Amino acid sequence: MLPVRSAHGALPPAAPAPQSCRRHTPAIRRIHMKSVKALLGVVLALLVGVAGALLGPAPAFGAAPARAELSAPPQIPAENIMRHLRQFQAIADRNGGNRAHGRPGYRASVDYVKSQLDAAGFRTSLQPFSYRGATGWNLIADWPSGDPNQVVFLGAHLDGVPAGPGINDNASGSAAVLETALTVARTNLKTQKRLRFGWWGAEELGLIGSRYYTGNLPAAERSKIKAYLNFDMVGAKNTRTWGVYNDDPNLRRMFENHFRSKGVQTRPMNIGGRSDHASFKNIGVPVSGIASGNDPCYHARCDTINNVGANVVATSTNAAAHGAWTLAGTAGSRLPGRELRLAS
């Protein structure tokens, strides 16, 4: 994450959402309207004895789905995420103590995440870019299920600052997104929308990687992205209250309702242009994200594995998974009643 006073002041202001994006009403409302329709559909199907309708193909966007129920992700154990964080710490230790843009620890971080995703069956791609005389990379992974014209995107920056290993900022978000993706693969998740995951380079130098990615997306590809969720600094130990980006109200409520159901306190958070969600907001994509509490080792040498709390990063990762499952629309088990109230 960028500091409060930084290059972000020089970033272009958020462009107003193009009409084509406004017309796509927020993804959550759609999903929950679908849930209501789906439940009505079940009642009807039972009444007329057409249970076979439930087995139909995934519906076109906006149509009442044949599937009646949405599933929740499995609980992701803290150890799954800590395993990645220990790898990022080891990568920094082997590469001069950091994972910064243009340094070998960054490329080693990319290679680690990519190898995990490739082994799990993702379609991955590396997008190189050049900044300050060094090559950086964005890593993008698509889960091959659901409608490729409706993309739900989760992302995190993978680079750190030169001062330290960058474990809370932002191995934590990188690991949260990675473990969410691996859980998608492990459960062989069937989604209605396409799930895409991104790890951005050179965020700490001014959102360079994510701006490069969005800036090079053709207009037709931009409009396919229905939501972007950002995970930057999600593991600070001693966190009591989670910040929820207040950019898109429906996405914010989705996170708030999730945390409330877990008894976790939240606060609305306006982080402006200080992380990669801004690159997506600037092209008209509805965005939100979460962050953990105060980090005494922000951009410092002490941002090591000892700077994160296992339970904190697990809470964040389970919120990320909740977002992925909810927004992408998954079949299997019942959507919690609490979520249905979002439809109002």
Interaction site with Zn ion (CB under 5 A): 1, 169
Strand, helix or coil for residue 145:
coil
Dist CA 306 CA 130 (whole Å): 32
Give whichever of 71 and 89 is closer to Zn ion, judged by the CB atom. 89
The answer to whether the beta carbons of residues 213 and 198 sit under 8 Å apart is yes
Nearer to Zn ion, 91 or 117 (CB): 91
Nearer to Zn ion, 142 or 169 (CB): 169
Q: Nearest CA to 176 among 236, 105, 101?
A: 236
Structural contact between residues 128 and 139, judged by C-beta atoms closer than 8 angstroms = no
User: Residue holding tokens 């964005």?
Assistant: 138
Identify each DSSP E strand in the chain by its residue range: 123-131, 134-143, 147-157, 193-200, 225-231, 241-245, 265-269, 287-291
Q: Which C-beta is closer to Zn ion: that of 152 or that of 167?
A: 167
Alpha carbon distance 267, 230 (integer Å): 16
Residue 256 annotated to the active site: no
Shortest gap between Cβ of 273 and Zn ion (angstroms)? Answer: 13
Q: CB of 217 within 8 A of CB of 144?
A: no
* Burial class (CB within 10 angstroms; exposed 0-12, middle 13-18, buried 19+) of 212: buried
- In the numeric block, which tokens belong to residue 204? 């700490």
Tell me how far, at minimum, the Cβ of 28 lies from Zn ion, in Å: 28
- Nearest to Zn ion of 194, 274 (CB atom): 274
**Least Å distance between CB 301 and Zn ion?**
14
Minimal distance, residue 154 CB to Zn ion, in Å: 18
Chain centroid to Cα 103, Å, comes to 25
Q: Which member of 69, 79, 179, 203 is catalytic? A: 203
Residue number, 71 or 239, with CB nearest to Zn ion: 239
User: Shortest gap between Cβ of 7 and Zn ion (angstroms)?
Assistant: 12
Rounded to the nearest whole angstrom, what is the least distance from the CB of residue 73 to Zn ion in the complex?
27
Cα 164 to Cα 89, 95, 135, 209, distances in angstroms: 10, 11, 20, 20
Instruction: Provide Rg for the chain, Cα atoms.
Output: 19
Burial 110-126 (b: 16+ CB within 10 A, else e): bebbbebbeebebebee
- The minimum distance between CB 307 and Zn ion, in angstroms, equals 13
- What residues contact residue 100 under an 8 Å CB cut-off, 6+ apart? 106, 159, 160, 161, 162, 166, 204
Between 169 and 179, CB nearer to Zn ion: 169
Q: Which residues are catalytic?
A: 203
